């Protein structure tokens, strides 16, 4: 791998780490009734998001892998739209299909500009 490619990879990884931290903050509040976010990682090149959630009453972290997403802006509001996702617990895949896939998830205004800029 050439030096230029390595530098580019480092920049993308840094951007993804920073964006993951912002996205984690953005989804903390909506997730709070169900549990606590334990980690968020982003691969912006592949448009993938991996999110660990410790659900209330559970002892193990549940992993949600968003395999395809897009950002949509309507009348000044930025939304995350999940197109394809899987969950580490089989029964939750049905819930994700019903309540997450294709739905517009509003991103808080204070984080939206940063997320839009880097994703």
Tell me the mean pLDDT per 10 residues along the chain, length 119: 65 76 84 92 89 94 94 90 95 92 88 71
Residue 60, CB half-sphere, CA atoms under 13 Å: how many?
Answer: 5
pLDDT, residue 86, reads 96
pTM beyond 0.85 = no
pLDDT, residue 11, reads 67
Which pairs count as long-range contacts for 83-88, CB under 8 Å and 24+ apart, including other chains?
87/62, 87/63, 88/62, 88/63, 88/64
pLDDT, residue 18, reads 78
pLDDT, residue 114, reads 72
Structural domain harbouring 14: 3-118
pLDDT, residue 1, reads 61
The tokens for 112 are 């939206």
Number of domains in the chain: 1
102-116 b/e with 16+ CB inside 10 Å = b?
A: eeeeebbeebbebbe
């Amino acid at each position: 791998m050439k030096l230029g490619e390595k530098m580019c990879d480092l920049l993308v990884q840094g951007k993804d780490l920073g964006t993951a931290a912002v996205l984690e903050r953005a989804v903390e509040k909506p997730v709070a009734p169900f549990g606590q976010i334990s980690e968020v990682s982003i691969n912006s090149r592949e448009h993938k998001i991996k999110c660990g959630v410790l659900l209330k009453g559970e002892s193990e972290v549940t992993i949600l892998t968003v395999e395809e997403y897009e950002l949509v802006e309507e009348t000044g509001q930025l939304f995350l739209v999940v197109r394809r996702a899987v969950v580490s617990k089989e029964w939750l895949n049905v819930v994700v299909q019903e309540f997450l896939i294709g739905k517009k998830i509003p991103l808080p205004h204070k984080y939206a500009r940063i997320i839009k800029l880097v994703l």
